[in-house]
Chains A and B, each alone.
Chain A
Amino acid sequence: MTDQLSATFAALADPTRRAILAQLANGEATVNELAEPFEISLQAISRHLKVLERAGLISRGRDAQWRPCRLESAPLSEATDWIERQRAIWNDRLDQLNTVLNEIQKTEKSHRTRQAQKGNDHD
């Protein structure tokens, strides 16, 4: 797993941070707006925002006073790609299993045919 992916998953491990991201999916918001639904301090919210920012999941505006937060979707795509890769791995395996099964059955069949021929030779 890449470092970016680890950072993404670590950031998503916390329910408060997930709730913040869910809120940001509706559009930009300020720290005060984001803090509203929670019974935790602005300071605690700021700490969560720092984790999210470091993980690249959000970006913040430059205006020093207002600095609205915005959701960044690229790291999330990378995380979901991981799940897609799991699916791709299983698809490859099961395709290749078909080839293996065909080969085993072909070998068994020719083996049986040879046995039968041997039997005929003895007759």
Chain B
Amino acid sequence: MTEISISQEPGLGEVTIIRTYNAPRELVFSCFVEPERLAQFWGPKGTHVPLESVVIEPRVGGRFEALMVADDGSGEFPMTGVFVEFEPPEVFSFAEPGYSDQSMVSRSTFEDLGDGRTRVTIYQTNVPEQFRSAEAMAGMTSSLDRFEEYLASL
């Protein structure tokens, strides 16, 4: 990995993460669609993904599922996604149930940098209105806190 950047959020409730890998695009893409590979990195720290829990139906409308199991046995976190876009080795996106009936969409794009490196961009969007509201409200209250601090300092 030669470069890490986490962009400023383009909008409330949107998450963008960009990484560059020293590996060809086909190989990087394959890690997201081959269960043996996905299981090795998909679970965040403190969790693991049992290989038998991974379901990848590589087509639009296909299932994209994995079970993240806490290493200390404290819980299990299922992911039940459906592919919305599937165009190897360039892009795939999947929707998963968010809060209530609304779904969140995570889009991963794979860019061939032409020198053996690949840039991966993860863009999580369609975050439910409630989440965006919470962020906006929290932003408002924290700036209010800062304003109060400023007033107190006068």
Contact = CB atoms under 8 A, between A and B. Distances in A.
Interface of A: 1, 6, 8-10, 12-13, 18, 21-22, 25-26, 71, 73, 76-77, 79-80, 82-83, 86-94, 96-101, 104-105
A104 B138 CA distance: 43
A83 B15 contact: yes
A101 B138 contact: no
Contacts of B22: 101
Contact of A93 (B6, B13, B41, B131): B41
A9 B104 CA distance: 15
B37 A9 contact: no
Nearest to A57: B137
B113 interface: no
A80 B21 contact: no
A26 B147 CA distance: 11
A18 B55 CA distance: 39
The 5 closest A-B pairs by CB, nearest first: A79-B134, A96-B41, A92-B44, A9-B130, A73-B141
Contact of A1 (B40, B99, B135): B99
A14 B135 CA distance: 15
Nearest to B130: A9
Contact of B40 (A8, A9, A100): A100
B138 A80 contact: yes
Contacts of B128: 9
B33 interface: no
A101 B134 contact: no
A6 B21 CA distance: 38
Interface in B120-154: 120, 122, 124, 127-131, 133-135, 137-138, 140-142, 144-145
B98 to A, nearest CB: 10
Interface stretch (B23-31, B56-64, B82-90): B23-31
Contact of B140 (A8, A22, A99, A101): A22
B127 A83 contact: yes
Given A9-B131, A89-B44, A96-B41, 18 more contacts: A9-B128, A12-B133, A25-B137, A73-B145, A80-B138, A83-B135, A87-B6, A87-B17, A90-B17, A90-B124, A93-B44, A94-B19, A96-B40, A99-B41, A100-B41, A101-B22, A104-B31, A105-B23
